[in-house]
Copies of this chain bind each other. A is one copy, B any other.
Amino acid sequence: MPSPCSDYPPDLSYDQESYLLSNLKDWSIAHGLAVRPAPTFVHASQDPAGVLATTAPVTLFPSLFPRACFEEGLAIQEAYNELYSAIARDEQWLQGIVEELLDIDDFVSKLWQTHLAVKKEGYVQDLSLGLFRSDYMVHTDTSSSQPSSGLKQVEFNTIASSFGGLSSQVAALHRYLLTIDAYPSTATSVIKADALSQSKSASSLAQGLAVAHKAYGTSKSGLPLCVLFVVQDPERNVFDQRHLEYALLEESAVRSFRLPFHETLSDTLLDASRTLIYTPPNSPSTRYEVTTVYFRAGYSPDDYPKEEDWSARLHLERSRAIKCPSILTHLAGCKKVQQVLATPHSPHLRRFLPDATVASRVLATFAPIYPLDQTEAGEEAKKLAADPSTAVRYVLKPQREGGGNNIYRKSIPTFLKDLPKTHWPAYILMEMIEPPPLKNAILRNGEVQKGGVIGELGVYGVCLWKNGTGADEKGEILENWEAGYLLRTKGDQSEEGGVAAGFGAVDSCCLVGT
């Protein structure tokens, strides 16, 4: 970070903080930068109808972010869209990856079986939609005499990429606070209009759903067409999703419905040609044909408590609706894929990104990732992980999706000692990204927490493609664009992510440097 940023954010007097907070609290509710309150804050018995809301966990200041890193993240998103679309279209390659996990990861196994069942029956929809988010941290390399900063990827989300609705709002909030002089004049050399990057994510992701909806074509059933948001119920982060629904309706005039995942089988059916028909419970006589299924649920094993839930996923996957994502796309996002791509000297990246220049830019964002398997890289990784002096530079992550349960640094050797060796391949070893030290203040449940923070940049991408018919026919990309960004910021004591899970805040970028 350049030196002017060392005392960022500025300290606030009592009156300054009061002014900033009262404006922040009102603006956020007036603009739907909100969540339903956590049960620890408002117990369900107090508000059985669920009418209360509160400001989404949010930073008081936009966090500093190196401009070059930010621009690079946005610039390579189309390449990432291309990469993951290509992976999702290469079933044979994906099969090789997934098969290594089948015995270890029951969730991956179930997803794969679901895919195979549909494959066996034959596909009726060759279009796939990805609303992706590639998550990065800034990595400060201090190993050379000239410290440098670059983006390193944390993970790539292919399903239920969240916070695109709120991200546009938080960037607008910080701009508003700047406009009304809520940031003291001592900070305005850093926080200034051309340093605050607005995020188009809500509108741009909705546009992605709209192009899929349109690409689906005319109604097969004669019924009106709709998009289906498959959601968890209840959902505290509902306004994030709602902003996409509203943008889809207002900007593209596309109707959508929210379907709790566990109601899939009662509220939808497949007709003889596997066209997906949705019956709104409030109006059973007005049925809709579903063009696009947008999963904001179904990404975690917790969403499948019953066998019917797997039937529901199969049911949707079998349908003619465009899936966002398909199961192959969902599986393309598993950490094992990230690990295989990021294993030093891996040949895989070139397979999917033939353009060497493009591939090298993507490669530069990979932090070295090792398997814990029988390969040469795997054996090397086991040594690094078992030795406390080297383990301290690494994180051990489970291959499956959903966050949580990461093992950090010096805890790794002990953890592995207690883990049966047969379970080791369920984890990957990743070099820790060393983010620059930053400070910020977070408003959460009415309390302001101040201190050291870590920021994680998410770049959204929209990709619509046509699947190929086999080994020789790889399909083609129809739409591909970068779709705005998210900055999530968490206290640097916590080593978990995920604002809705209670550990961080939505944020926006205050760009610094050239």
Give Cα distance in the complex from A205 to B29, angstroms: 21
| Docked-complex contact A30 and B246, CB < 8 angstroms | yes
Contacts of A179 in B (CB 8 A): 249
Instruction: Select from chain B the residue with minimum beta-carbon distance to A165.
Output: B30
A37 at the interface (CB under 8 A from B): yes
**When the two chains form the complex, which single residue of B49, B185, B243, B283 contacts A446, counting CB atoms closer than 8 Å?**
B49
Interface stretch, picked from A20-28, A103-111, A390-398, is: A20-28
Taking a contact as CB atoms under 8 Å apart, the answer to whether B32 and A31 are in contact is yes
Q: From residue A379, how far is it (CB to closest CB) to chain B in Å?
A: 52
B239 and A282: CB pair below 8 A? Answer: no
A182 to B281, CA, bound (A): 11
A282: B residues at CB distance < 8 A = 13, 15-16, 18-20, 181-182, 184
The reply to whether the CB of A473 lies closer than 8 angstroms to some CB of chain B is: no
Assess the A280–B52 pair: CB atoms within 8 A: no
- Let me know if A52 and B49 touch, CB within 8 A: no
- Contact indicator B55/A185 (Cβ below 8 Å): no
Q: Which of A23-52 contact B (CB under 8 A)?
A: 25-27, 29-32, 34, 37, 42, 46-52
Residues of B within 8 A of A19 (CB): 280-283
A115 contacts the other chain (CB 8 A): no
Whether A52 contacts B54 in the complex (CB less than 8 A), given A249-B179, A281-B19, comes out as yes
Report chain B residues within 8 Å CB of A27. 242, 246
B283 close to A185 (CB less than 8 A): yes
Q: Which residue of B lies closest to A50 (CB)?
A: B25
Q: Check A389 for interface membership: any CB of B closer than 8 A.
A: no
0/1 string, A172-200, CB within 8 A of B gives 1: 00000001111011000000000000000
Most chain-B Cβ atoms within 10 A of its Cβ — which of A31, A52, A280?
A52
> Which of chain B's residues have a CB closer than 8 A to the CB of A238?
26
In the complex, the answer to whether B18 meets A51 with C-beta atoms within 8 Å is no
A interface bracket (residues with beta carbon within 8 Å of B): 35 or more
Q: Does A255 count as interface, using CB distance less than 8 angstroms? A: yes
Q: Is the CB of B181 within 8 A of A280?
A: yes
Q: Which residues of B contact A239 (CB under 8 A)?
A: 26, 29-30
Which of A30, A181, A238, A258 has the most CB atoms of chain B within a 10 A radius of its CB?
A30
Q: CB of A221 within 8 A of chain B? A: no
Give chain B residues whose Cβ lies under 8 Å from the Cβ of A18.
Answer: 281-282
Q: How far, in Å, is A97 (CB) from chain B's closest CB? A: 39
Q: Which residues of B contact A445 (CB under 8 A)?
A: 51
A180 / chain B contacts, CB cutoff of 8 Å: 249, 255
Contact of A29 among B34, B48, B182 (CB under 8 A): B34
CB-contact partner of A26 in B242, B255, B286, under 8 A: B242
Nearest CB of chain B from residue A491's CB, rounded to whole Å: 19
* A49 B286 Cβ-Cβ under 8 A: no
Find residues 265-305 in chain A having any chain B CB closer than 8 Å to their own CB.
Answer: 280-283, 285-286
Q: Taking the complex as formed, is A443 at the interface, i.e. its CB lies under 8 A from any CB of chain B?
A: yes
Residues of B within 8 A of A55 (CB): 51
- Asked if A447 CB lies within 8 Å of chain B CBs, one says yes
Distance, CA A182 to CA B15, complexed state (A) = 45
Nearest CB to that of A28 among chain B residues?
B51
Does A53 touch B at the CB level, under 8 Å? yes
A332 to chain B, nearest CB (A): 32
Q: CA A53 – CA B33 in complex, angstroms?
A: 12
Bound-state CA distance A242–B31 (Å) is 11
Quote the shortest CB–CB distance from A208 to chain B (angstroms): 20
**Cβ-defined contact, A443 with B51, below 8 A:** yes
Chain B residues closer than 8 Å to A31, beta-carbon distance = 32
Q: CA of A238 to CA of B16 in the docked complex: distance in angstroms?
A: 20
Set of chain B residues within 8 Å of A280, measured between Cβ atoms: 19, 181
Mark A55-89 against chain B: 1 for CB-CB distance below 8 A, else 0: 10000000000000000000000000000000000
Instruction: Report A25 CB to chain B, min CB distance, Å.
Output: 6
Q: Tell me whether B54 and A281 are in contact (CB under 8 A).
A: no
Are B184 and A283 touching (Cβ within 8 A)?
Answer: yes
Give per-residue flags for A444-455: 1 if the beta carbon is below 8 A from chain B beta carbons, else 0: 011100000000
> A497–B470 Cα gap in the complex (Å)?
70
Residues of A within 8 A of B (CB): 13, 15-16, 18-22, 25-27, 29-32, 34, 37, 42, 46-55, 179-182, 184-185, 238-239, 242-243, 246, 249, 255, 258, 280-283, 285-286, 443, 445-447
11 contacts between A and B (CB under 8 A): A15-B282, A16-B283, A19-B281, A29-B34, A30-B32, A42-B42, A49-B447, A51-B445, A52-B52, A53-B53, A182-B282
With A22-B258, A42-B46, A181-B286 given, name 14 new contacts (CB 8 A).
Answer: A16-B282, A18-B281, A18-B282, A19-B280, A26-B239, A30-B242, A31-B32, A42-B42, A49-B447, A50-B446, A51-B54, A180-B249, A185-B283, A185-B285
